[in-house]
Amino acid sequence: MNRKFLGAVVASVMCLPSGSALAGDYPTKTVRLVVPFTPGGGNDIAARFIAQRLTEAFGQTAVVDNRPGAGSTLGTEIVAKSAPDGYTLLVIHNAIAINQTLYPKLPYDTVRDFAQVAIIGATTNTLVVNPGVPARSTKELIALAKAKPGGLNYASTGAGGTAHLAMEYFRLETGTNLVHIPYKGTAPGLTDVVAGQVQVMISALPGTVPFINSKRVVALATTGKKRSAFLPDLPTLSESGVPGYEFDTWYGLHAPAKVPKDIITRLNAEITKSLSRPEVKEQLFKQGLEAQTGTPDEFAKFVRSEVAKMAKIIKASGAKPEQ
């Protein structure tokens, strides 16, 4: 009887998936956080911040591996096709939702091939205009744009990027006709707004604040669901005549789809615990990001909603990826 019982126990253990068998000891080696962008941007800041927190929590090194290229799809593919053991993870912003529709032939599927681990933080974007534009509110800008269809140009950080789609979303929601002028980043776009070569831009807050503070551009509104802690006196677009408008730049941690659920739960718990500490929130805030937390299921639901939202904007605007 005892031998039969022991044999049954051994057989049942051997039938367990290898990932589940190892999940209780996770991690036992270095964890790699792939960032599909060059060093220095918001994704890199978020990844290095989380790498430090995970290293402290687990006693195992977490390292950032920058893999830029192909509009972030190169590094994203690396993670999608990596072993589902929790040792290769992805830190990325809205691009993961945008690219699902923007690129007609992706080597992965955002919804099918990834599991969401944790949202990390977000930064709002800001609607700004050249000081010479006769508009000091969003409603005045909308009225001006409707009075002069095609008479206003707007800058973006590149075709298909967050700044482009945020402005296309604005255009679709307000029924205005503004002409898109793509640039190779926030700074050159804002520089031409200042020079009057283009009149309008929606750009990420961290890179825009110096232009606002120096009065080289006029800020009309922010793009978040609520007012930004960085500019609390500035209304949101939703408050300013574009009801329901919301387009933050958010950052999150993702894993290959088949990573064991208990590993994802543990990662989420450690990140949530860390981001809930006031001193940690303050450190992240100083780098331009407002900490956010939530369960893996909540984050997954949010990402699916963002994929649908971005698909609507991309299809309606006809946005194409940069060649």
Tens digit of pLDDT for each residue in 248-263? 889 999 999 999 999 9
Please report, rounded to a whole number, the percentage of residues in the chain having pLDDT higher than 90: 71
- Tell me what pLDDT residue 11 has: 45
Q: What integer is the mean pLDDT of 39-48?
A: 86
Same structural domain for residues 188 and 200? yes
Same structural domain for residues 261 and 217? no
Same structural domain for residues 209 and 255? no
Given a contact cutoff of 8 angstroms between Cβ atoms, the answer to whether 29 and 86 are in contact is no
The C-alpha atoms of residue 252 and residue 92 are separated, in whole angstroms, by 6
Query: DSSP label at 109?
Result: -
Tens digit of pLDDT for each residue in 8-18? 444 444 444 44
Same structural domain for residues 144 and 205? yes
CATH number of the structural domain spanning residue 291: 3.40.190.150
Domain boundary (205, 222, 239) is at 222
Provide the mean pLDDT of the chain.
Answer: 90
Same structural domain for residues 95 and 135? no
Same structural domain for residues 218 and 140? yes
Same structural domain for residues 168 and 305? no
CATH number of the structural domain spanning residue 172: 3.40.190.10
Q: Examine residue 71 and state whether it is found in any structural domain, yes or no.
A: yes
Q: Number of folded domains in the chain?
A: 2
Instruction: Examine the pLDDT at 45 and tell me if it is beyond 80.
Output: yes
Given a contact cutoff of 8 angstroms between Cβ atoms, the answer to whether 290 and 284 are in contact is yes
Given a contact cutoff of 8 angstroms between Cβ atoms, the answer to whether 30 and 10 are in contact is no
Tens digit of pLDDT for each residue in 115-141? 999 999 998 999 999 999 999 999 999
Of 184, 178, 201, residue with least CA distance to 130: 201
Two tokens, residue 3: 């031998």
Q: What integer is the mean pLDDT of 193-200?
A: 96
Same structural domain for residues 111 and 255? yes
Range of the structural domain that residue 276 is part of: 27-123+248-317
User: Measured in Å, how far apart are the chain's first and last C-alpha atoms?
Assistant: 70
Same structural domain for residues 255 and 307? yes
The C-alpha atoms of residue 51 and residue 63 are separated, in whole angstroms, by 6
- Tell me what pLDDT residue 209 has: 85
Helix (H, G, I), strand (E, B) or coil at 144: helix
Identify each DSSP E strand in the chain by its residue range. Answer: 31-35, 62-66, 88-92, 114-123, 125-129, 153-156, 179-182, 200-204, 218-222, 249-256, 290-291
Residue 37 has φ and ψ, to the nearest 5°, of -140, 165
Same structural domain for residues 164 and 197? yes
